[in-house]
A and B are shown apart, each in its own frame.
Chain A
């Protein structure tokens, strides 16, 4: 296996403001994100050889036409990717293969979701079996949080600290859904959604779109970002059971998909000590407890049960050892499902280029993005670094 390391470059990124965007539809959002990315790359839609687009809900869009129609790129190849909440990073992964193989030179990757148009609270529940049904999304992740409360002694305060940190970061980001810092007391007194997860433990339900333009490094050298394009150092995906509640050997303490993807990604990027080498990580904090599990699963602490201490000690702050979710994360930036993976790569790219919209992490070396889907079933880890 020759891998993807150093074979793909990100040369343009774009992202809409995330939030409850009542006045715009998926067409508006996708056009805004795609054109921002193309403008950033100094390119026009005609320069694009192919498109990968990700969205989760069929009511947002189906088929490659989800991107081709709004961009009026009729006749170009386009594929829609759906892989639960990791759809965005999986669209990127597939697009990387297309570029690295040499089949296409310039590919547009975009993700979009228009959740609020469904006209109901929370995420639509899409169980199709009459009786083998899961819980709500918070309920599914709460099953893991609950086990950590029992087994590891995690507390509501441990979760709340993640929310406070991410709200602080998001408040500084002009494109984040929520722009308001919160206190520990706010988080602890919020109404319960799925015990032990309260409202401030759950990410925002948001609309938004994000896009990237990718190419091969030798082509990147002749583009607008020739001096600071960002290289893909690793990209890995792993899928575990999408019905983990039936797997008798599963301990519910973290997500094996993340651990598998991280292992593959670190190996490909040549990272031995992620805590020392990774400067910032945009991780999938769909719930505050998930961020704590991610810290363990990504190997940022020696013992995964100590993840709360990592956050409490400020090591996950923007100025900390590994800045975790300097954008505010899903918690505060928002989580338009299909867009999230692309949004993470947008954020990490701009951080590595020293042009973050919100808080800038100082002198970053490696940036990591981690996208998690389903009940911890699908995990994608991407490691990026600025060109030398």
Chain B
């Protein structure tokens, strides 16, 4: 088979908190390192979409036939998320969409479905996006261990990173789990869950796939393994016959366990370094294990503008303390601001809201947003060509607004009028920054976010952020 990975992307949120701060806040032991923290306007879907956007850098979104969204924390219990991603990623209307949820292994479950699809010919190119923001119980090391992130792979019928073998292993150890009524991830006996669940199944799957491919562990350049905690990945490596030097950094000291996005995130970091001719192992766990071997038969495209995992790790801001973390994750259960919305208008304007489309006036050439009927500049009527807007622009003017939904906010919301590269003027809230950083002429880029809960659904839209470099 020739099917494999054509492109990939990562996303790590801008904010981090040191685990020492978290332990200190509760007076409990701290794990070493730090974890990534999704901003208040981020969730598993927005992070997955950010990673998807990275994976599509330099690739025509219209070439994608299916998109699979993977998470243990999908923002909707009933309503598909991949359909939202299909629009935000500006994919074709006839794209096939599916959500894979319920297990931290969801991303490789989806990857298998994607490979099967391209091998069967039902699709040529499938985008798998994963995002997770697992809720760790406060005052436990769970909330220190877990981290928020997104990752994506683009599967193609003919790809340079060919999947040459696959093995799966079922494992029915209860834990970790979360029932609908459980607010936080539950765990009964970590020792059992780790030793007889994660380590045993993952190592078995790794050995099985190597056997299938007729490979010795030493023939692998890198092993990207799902890692539920700080230590046990080493046990998997040992039982699978891998040398520790072959292990890709599991990102636990910098990001944390990113749930359904974790394995693909570690894989993205491995692919960032991988060379043509190398062989990679990817293994994932969650109520069973998946393992696969990737043969880098050709050069992986490295399009300009796609950020590496290392870049995302370096582009960060440390939260000043646990209070900031608690506010970001809304641990105090503060009610959502009361904002008006309507599923009717949201649906009707979906191309301009989610696809980030504007229109170019065919009479005067000015790009406008949202799409008007009559040109604001030359008054030509219904003479527009719908265009994709740029994700980058510069601040024309801005304010730091302390008022929102009838509340006075101590930390203001930066709001900027932005002139986009290639035309179009938009008005966006600026996120992921200290408000005082915003300046006229500053370059910003769009980022997909959850704006509010008006009409009691997730109102997703774009915000602007300082360029992540």
Give me the interface of A with B, judged by CB distance under 8 Å.
120-122, 124-136, 138-139, 142-147, 150, 191-197, 241, 243, 245-249, 252
Which B429-469 residues sit within 8 Å CB-CB of chain A? Answer: 440, 451, 454-455, 459, 461
Q: Which residues of A contact B176 (CB under 8 A)?
A: none
Contact of A241 among B342, B376, B405 (CB under 8 A): B376
Q: Which residues of A contact B406 (CB under 8 A)?
A: 120-122, 124-125
Is B419 on the interface with A (CB-CB < 8 A)? Answer: yes
Beyond the given A146-B399, A252-B396, please list 19 additional residue pairs across the A-B interface where CB-CB is below 8 A: A124-B406, A125-B404, A125-B405, A127-B339, A130-B349, A130-B451, A131-B349, A136-B401, A138-B401, A138-B403, A143-B397, A143-B417, A146-B440, A194-B402, A194-B403, A243-B427, A246-B426, A248-B367, A248-B419
Cα-based distance from A246 to B459 in the complex (angstroms): 20
Interface-central residue, B339, B396, B424, by most chain A CB under 10 Å: B396
A246 touching B425 by the CB < 8 A rule? yes
B340 touching A248 by the CB < 8 A rule? no
A193 nearest in chain B by CB position: B402
Number of interface residues of B (CB under 8 A): 44
Is B421 on the interface with A (CB-CB < 8 A)? Answer: no
A248 nearest in chain B by CB position: B425
Stretch at the interface among B135-143, B245-253, B307-315, B407-415: B407-415
Is B341 on the interface with A (CB-CB < 8 A)? Answer: yes
B415 touching A135 by the CB < 8 A rule? yes
Interface-central residue, B339, B349, B368, B427, by most chain A CB under 10 Å: B427
A194 touching B459 by the CB < 8 A rule? no
CB contact under 8 A between A150 and B461, given known A194-B412, A245-B425 = no
10 A-B interface contacts by CB (under 8 A): A121-B407, A124-B406, A130-B349, A131-B353, A139-B401, A146-B397, A193-B402, A195-B399, A246-B369, A246-B425
Q: Which residues of A contact B196 (CB under 8 A)?
A: none
Q: Which residues of B contact A193 (CB under 8 A)?
A: 402-403
CB contact under 8 A between A121 and B399, given known A130-B341, A248-B419 = no
Which B373-416 residues sit within 8 Å CB-CB of chain A? Answer: 376-377, 396-408, 412-413, 415
A253 nearest in chain B by CB position: B397
Q: What are the nearest 4 A-B pairs in CB distance?
A: A245-B427, A142-B399, A136-B403, A139-B401
Is B120 on the interface with A (CB-CB < 8 A)? Answer: no
Q: Which residues of B contact A125 (CB under 8 A)?
A: 403-406
Q: Which residues of A contact B396 (CB under 8 A)?
A: 147, 252
B415 touching A139 by the CB < 8 A rule? yes
Is B345 on the interface with A (CB-CB < 8 A)? Answer: yes
Chain A nearest CB from B322 CB (Å) reads 27
Give me the interface of B with A, judged by CB distance under 8 Å.
339-342, 345-346, 349, 353, 366-370, 376-377, 396-408, 412-413, 415, 417, 419, 423-427, 440, 451, 454-455, 459, 461
A196 nearest in chain B by CB position: B399
Cα-based distance from A144 to B399 in the complex (angstroms): 9
Contact of B377 among A120, A133, A147, A248 (CB under 8 A): A248
A241 nearest in chain B by CB position: B376
CB contact under 8 A between A144 and B427, given known A192-B412, A246-B370 = no
Cα-based distance from A247 to B400 in the complex (angstroms): 21
Chain A nearest CB from B390 CB (Å) reads 13
Q: Which residues of B contact A120 (CB under 8 A)?
A: 406
Q: Which residues of A contact B451 (CB under 8 A)?
A: 130-131
Cα-based distance from A191 to B402 in the complex (angstroms): 10
Interface-central residue, A126, A132, A133, A249, by most chain B CB under 10 Å: A133
B340 touching A127 by the CB < 8 A rule? yes
Q: Which residues of A contact B417 (CB under 8 A)?
A: 143, 245, 252
Chain A nearest CB from B41 CB (Å) reads 12
A146 touching B376 by the CB < 8 A rule? no
Cα-based distance from A252 to B417 in the complex (angstroms): 10
Q: Which residues of B contact A252 (CB under 8 A)?
A: 396-397, 417
B423 touching A130 by the CB < 8 A rule? no
A133 nearest in chain B by CB position: B339
Contact of A150 among B377, B397, B401, B403 (CB under 8 A): B397
A142 touching B403 by the CB < 8 A rule? no
B341 nearest in chain A by CB position: A130
Q: Which residues of A contact B376 (CB under 8 A)?
A: 241, 246-249
B400 nearest in chain A by CB position: A195
Cα-based distance from A245 to B401 in the complex (angstroms): 15
CB contact under 8 A between A147 and B397, given known A125-B406, A128-B342, A131-B353 = yes
Interface-central residue, B339, B349, B397, B425, by most chain A CB under 10 Å: B397
Cα-based distance from A146 to B346 in the complex (angstroms): 31
Q: Which residues of A contact B345 (CB under 8 A)?
A: 128-130
Chain A nearest CB from B27 CB (Å) reads 35
Q: Which residues of A contact B455 (CB under 8 A)?
A: 130
Interface-central residue, B339, B341, B401, B461, by most chain A CB under 10 Å: B401
Interface-central residue, A126, A128, A147, A246, by most chain B CB under 10 Å: A246
Chain B nearest CB from A364 CB (Å) reads 37
A132 touching B370 by the CB < 8 A rule? yes
Chain B nearest CB from A162 CB (Å) reads 18
Q: Which residues of B contact A246 (CB under 8 A)?
A: 368-370, 376, 425-427
Cα-based distance from A69 to B451 in the complex (angstroms): 41
Q: Which residues of B contact A135 (CB under 8 A)?
A: 399, 401, 413, 415
Chain B nearest CB from A103 CB (Å) reads 33
B455 nearest in chain A by CB position: A130
A252 nearest in chain B by CB position: B397
A143 touching B399 by the CB < 8 A rule? yes
Q: Which residues of B contact A147 (CB under 8 A)?
A: 396-397, 440
A124 nearest in chain B by CB position: B406
Q: Which residues of B contact A124 (CB under 8 A)?
A: 406
Cα-based distance from A96 to B241 in the complex (angstroms): 92
Q: Which residues of B contact A247 (CB under 8 A)?
A: 376, 425
Q: Which residues of A contact B370 (CB under 8 A)?
A: 132, 246
B452 nearest in chain A by CB position: A130
Q: Which residues of A contact B413 (CB under 8 A)?
A: 135
A130 touching B459 by the CB < 8 A rule? yes
Cα-based distance from A130 to B456 in the complex (angstroms): 11
A150 touching B425 by the CB < 8 A rule? no
A136 touching B353 by the CB < 8 A rule? no
B454 touching A130 by the CB < 8 A rule? yes
